Amino acid sequence: MARTLVNVPKVAKQGEVVEIKAMIAHPMETGYRIGPNGSNIARDIIRRFTCTYNGEEVFSADLFPAVSANPFIAFTLVATTSGTIDFTWTDDAGKTQTASATITVN
């Protein structure tokens, strides 16, 4: 499994705009590079990233071969209620990596 790093404020005021950051350790191999044996290295990229807040999708992104290794994504959302923020990364092979964090809204 790939290593993930998510940064979500532990506490926010209701209605506050908070910044969410997520990163996954992944090579994002484009399939265009030549390996040591002279053949192309197989393509292996993260294709989709989604983020849900209490089960409702609040952010998603489709990623392409031009994205660098270890993709870092930052976005904002409005803190409405306390709950869980779930992150999902899906690669070319359909494998998924998930992470989650909780936020308390006062």
All structural domains of the chain, each given as residue ranges with its CATH number in brackets, are 4-28+41-105 (2.60.40.10)
- What global pTM score does this model have? 0.92
Q: What is the mean pLDDT of residues 29-40?
A: 94
pLDDT tens track for 46-80: 999 999 999 999 999 999 998 999 999 999 999 99
- The DSSP output letter for 55 is T
> Residue 35 pLDDT more than 80?
yes
Mean pLDDT, residues 87-100 taken together:
96
Angle at 45 between CA 40 and CA 50, to 5 degrees: 170
pLDDT at 43 over 70: yes
